[in-house]
Amino acid sequence: MDTTINLFRRITENSQPHATYSRNWSASYRSLDFAEIFVPRAPRRFGAGLLIYDGAELFTTVSPEQKERIIAPEDGSPLSITLFSYAENVLATTKKAKLVTAANETCCFVEIDVHDRIALTFRFGRQIRNALNRLLAVNGQRTDATQLESRVYRTTRQEFHAFFRGEAAYDKLEAYILETIGVPVIPVHAEHRTDAVRDYFKDRHSFTHLVL
pLDDT one-digit tens code per residue, 52-68: 999 999 999 998 776 66
Tell me how far CA of residue 135 lies from CA of 57, 140, 171, in angstroms. 33, 9, 18
Find, among 84, 153, 157, 175, the residue nearest to 114 by Cα.
157
Q: Which helix (H) or strand (E) holds 26?
A: none
Q: How many helices (H) and strands (E) does the chain have?
A: 8, 8
Say how many C-beta atoms besides its own lie within 10 A of residue 75's C-beta: 7
Distance CA 58, CA 167 (A): 9
pLDDT confidence of 115, banded at 50, 70, 90?
A: very high
What does pTM read for this prediction? 0.83
Per DSSP, helices labelled H in 39-156 are 91-95, 126-138, 145-150
Comparing 4 with 9, the larger pLDDT belongs to 9
Residue 200, pLDDT above cutoff 50: no
pLDDT the model gives residue 44: 95
Lowest mean pLDDT among 26-35, 57-66, 131-140, 188-197: 188-197
pLDDT the model gives residue 146: 92
Say how many C-beta atoms besides its own lie within 10 A of residue 76's C-beta: 6
Say how many C-beta atoms besides its own lie within 10 A of residue 39's C-beta: 26
Query: What angle, 0 to 180 degrees and rounded to 10, lies between the N-to-C axes of helices 193-203 and 170-181?
Result: 50
> How much helix, strand and coil, in percent to the nearest 5, is found in the chain?
40, 20, 40
* Residue 104 contacts residue 76 (beta carbons within 8 Å): no
Per DSSP, helices labelled H in 55-169 are 91-95, 126-138, 145-150, 157-164
Find, among 67, 177, 73, 180, the residue nearest to 126 by Cα.
73
Alpha carbon 145 to its chain centroid, in Å, reads 14
Number of domains in the chain: 1
* Residue 108 contacts residue 83 (beta carbons within 8 Å): yes
Residue 210, pLDDT above cutoff 90: no
pLDDT the model gives residue 209: 32
Q: What is the mean pLDDT of residues 84-105?
A: 94
- Supply the range of the domain harboring residue 197: 3-209
